[in-house]
C-alpha cells in the first residue's frame, strides 16, 4: 500500500511541478482559434485552407442532406473562436428493454437529423423527430476542438497504460480505454473523441460529422442517412454523385482541427494556486489528469509535446450523470472525462448542458465521481472558491 501511495504522490507531485513551471514560464501562447506555434509555412497553409472549408456552407448541389443538422461545421463550432464549442444541443435517442439498448436504426437512430432539404422529385424531405418507440432521449452539447491534434497524437499504449495505472492506484474511480475500429484507417484505436470516446481519430470524426451533421457522404462514410429510417425516399435525393464528395474535404477539416492550438492558460493567482492543490488533493485529478505527452510525430509541433487537457480520455461510470445511450462500445452509463482546458469560456457544462456554472457541474457528479463531489461540498466556502478560480485559469 505504501508504495502505491508513493507512486500516486509521485505522479501528482510531478504534475504540480509541471503546472508550476508552466505558470512561471509565461511563454506567449497562441490564443483561442490560432494555430499551434512553430508550424512551417506549408502546414500553416493547410491550417488556413482547412479553416476555410470548415466555415464554408454546403448546399444541395454540394450534397447537403437530405436530412442534416446544419450547413457548416463552424455554425456549431464557434464559441470563443472558429473551432470552439457551443451551447447548442443535439438529440440522441434509443430504447431500453430488459436492460438491453436498442439504437432504433429502423428510424435512423440514434442521432436526430433535425432539418430536411425540402421538396425534391416529388418528396418533401423534412427534419427527423424522436420516434414514439424511444424511451431514452439525451441532449449532447457541442464540444470545442482546441488542441485536439495533440490528443490525436497520444499513442494508444499511453491511454491503455493510464487505464491500468488507475486500476492499480485509484480503483474506485478507474476509467476504461474504449478500443474501436477506426474507419479512416481500418485499424484498432483507443477511442478518445466524443462524449462516449466513440471515435479514435480527428479524421474519422471529421468525416463522420460531414456525413451525420451536414449530410455529405464521402468514401469514408458513403451511405446517406435514410430520413426517419425510410431508405426508399433516397431515390428522390437530388445529390448528383454518390458518394457526394471525395476524401479531400474531411482531410481538410482534419488539418484545421489537428493544427488548432490548445486553449491558452491564464497566469495563476495566489488563490488559483491554492485551488490547484485542492483539485489534486480531493480526487478531481484522478480522472481529470492534468498532463499528457504526445508520441513521436512527423510534425514537430506535435512531436513529444507535453500538454494539459485535464482529462484521461477514458470512460467512467457516472451513475445518474449518464446519457443512457450505448454507442461504439460505451455503455449507457459510461461517459468520457470532460477535458477542463478552456472551460472558462464555456457557458454551459456537462454532456447535456444541464449545468450553467462550473460549481453546478461539479455538484452533478455521481457514480465514480461522487466521492470527489462530496469532498468538494465538504470544503469550506473559501476553499471551494479557490478551486473554482483554478478551473477558471485552465
Which residue lies nearer to ligand HEC by CB, 195 or 307?
A: 195
Select 236 or 354, whichever has its Cβ closest to ligand HEC: 354
Task: Quote the CA–CA distance of 210 and 57 in Å, as a whole number.
Answer: 11
156-185 binders of ligand HEC (CB under 6 A): 173
Q: Does 46 engage in binding with ligand HEC (CB under 6 A)?
A: no
- Using a CB cutoff of 8 Å and minimum separation of 24, what contacts does 175-182 make? 175/287, 175/312, 175/314, 175/315, 175/316, 175/337, 176/314, 176/315, 176/316, 176/334, 177/314, 177/315, 178/314, 178/315, 178/328, 178/329, 178/330, 178/334, 179/329, 180/328, 180/329
With beta carbons less than 8 A apart as the criterion, state whether 247 and 24 touch. no
274 part of the interface to ligand HEC, by CB under 6 A: no
The binder of ligand HEC chosen from 112, 202, 272, 280 (CB under 6 A) = 202
**Closer residue to ligand HEC in complex, CB, 261/338:** 338
Tell me the per-residue interface mask from 285 to 314 with ligand HEC, x by CB under 6 A, - otherwise.
-xxx--------------------------
| Region from 178-186, 240-248, 261-269, 280-288 binding ligand HEC, contact rule CB under 6 A | 280-288
Question: Using CB under 6 A, which of 46, 51, 189, 316 touches ligand HEC?
Answer: 316
With CB under 6 A as the contact rule, the residue among 123, 257, 301, 326 that binds ligand HEC is 257
Contact map string, positions 80 to 119, toward ligand HEC, x by CB under 6 A: ----------x-----------------------------
Spatial contact of 307 and 284, defined as CB atoms under 8 Å apart: no
Judge contact between 313 and 192, C-beta under 8 A.
Answer: yes
Shortest distance, CB of residue 273 to ligand HEC, whole angstroms?
16
376 sits near ligand HEC (criterion: CB under 6 A) = yes
Spatial CB neighbours of 198, under 8 Å, sequence gap ≥ 6: 178, 180, 191, 327, 328, 329, 330
In the complex, what is the shortest distance from the CB of residue 376 to ligand HEC, in angstroms, rounded to a whole number?
4
Q: Say how far apart CA 365 and CA 73 lie, in whole Å.
A: 30
Q: Which residues are CB-contacts of 6 (< 8 A; sequence separation ≥ 6)?
A: none
Of 180 and 209, nearer to ligand HEC (C-beta) is 209
**Of 41 and 171, which has the nearer Cβ to ligand HEC?**
171
Under a CB-based contact definition with an 8 Å cutoff, are residues 116 and 126 in contact?
A: yes
Grid cell at residue 150:
495533440
Query: Site residues (CB under 6 A) for ligand HEC?
Result: 69-70, 73, 75-77, 90, 140, 142-143, 145, 148, 173, 193-195, 202, 205-206, 209-210, 213-214, 253, 257, 282-284, 286-288, 316, 318, 321, 335, 337-338, 340, 343, 346, 349-351, 358, 361-362, 365, 368-369, 372-373, 376
Amino acid at each position: 500500500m505504501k508504495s502505491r501511495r508513493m507512486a500516486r504522490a509521485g505522479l501528482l507531485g510531478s504534475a504540480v511541478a509541471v503546472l508550476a513551471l508552466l505558470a512561471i514560464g509565461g511563454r506567449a501562447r497562441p490564443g483561442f482559434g490560432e494555430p499551434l506555434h512553430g508550424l512551417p509555412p506549408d502546414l500553416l497553409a493547410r491550417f488556413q485552407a482547412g479553416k476555410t472549408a470548415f466555415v464554408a456552407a454546403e448546399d444541395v448541389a454540394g450534397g447537403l442532406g437530405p436530412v442534416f443538422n446544419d450547413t457548416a461545421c463552424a455554425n456549431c463550432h464557434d464559441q470563443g473562436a472558429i473551432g470552439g464549442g457551443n451551447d447548442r444541443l443535439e438529440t440522441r435517442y434509443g430504447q431500453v428493454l430488459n436492460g438491453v439498448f436498442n439504437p432504433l436504426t429502423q428510424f435512423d437512430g440514434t442521432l436526430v437529423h433535425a432539418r430536411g432539404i425540402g421538396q425534391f422529385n416529388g418528396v418533401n424531405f423534412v427534419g427527423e423527430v424522436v420516434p414514439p418507440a424511444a424511451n431514452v432521449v439525451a441532449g449532447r452539447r457541442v464540444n470545442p476542438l482546441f488542441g485536439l491534434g495533440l490528443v490525436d497524437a497520444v499513442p494508444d499504449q499511453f491511454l491503455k497504460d493510464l487505464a491500468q495505472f488507475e486500476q492499480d492506484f485509484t480503483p474506485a474511480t478507474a476509467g476504461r480505454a474504449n478500443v474501436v475500429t477506426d474507419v479512416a484507417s481500418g485499424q484498432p484505436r483507443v477511442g478518445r473523441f466524443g462524449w462516449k470516446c466513440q471515435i479514435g481519430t480527428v479524421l474519422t470524426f471529421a468525416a463522420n460529422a460531414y456525413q451525420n451533421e451536414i449530410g455529405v457522404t464521402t468514401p469514408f462514410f458513403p451511405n446517406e442517412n435514410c430520413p426517419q429510417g425510410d431508405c426508399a425516399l433516397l431515390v428522390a435525393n437530388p445529390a448528383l454523385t454518390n458518394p457526394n464528395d471525395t476524401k479531400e474535404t474531411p482531410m481538410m477539416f482534419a488539418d484545421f482541427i489537428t493544427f488548432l492550438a490548445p486553449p491558452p492558460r491564464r497566469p495563476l493567482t495566489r488563490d488559483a494556486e491554492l485551488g490547484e492543490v485542492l483539485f489534486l488533493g480531493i480526487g478531481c485529478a484522478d480522472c481529470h489528469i492534468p498532463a499528457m505527452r504526445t508520441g513521436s510525430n512527423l510534425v514537430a509541433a506535435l512531436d513529444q509535446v507535453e500538454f494539459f487537457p485535464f482529462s484521461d480520455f477514458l470512460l467512467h461510470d457516472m451513475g445518474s450523470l449518464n446519457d443512457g445511450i450505448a454507442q461504439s462500445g460505451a455503455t449507457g452509463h459510461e461517459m468520457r472525462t470532460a477535458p477542463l482546458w478552456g472551460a472558462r469560456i464555456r457557458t454551459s457544462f456537462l454532456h447535456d448542458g444541464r449545468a450553467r456554472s462550473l460549481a453546478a457541474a461539479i455538484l452533478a457528479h455521481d457514480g465514480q465521481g461522487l466521492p470527489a463531489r462530496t469532498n468538494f461540498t465538504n470544503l469550506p466556502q473559501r476553499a471551494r472558491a479557490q478551486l473554482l478560480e483554478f478551473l477558471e485559469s485552465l
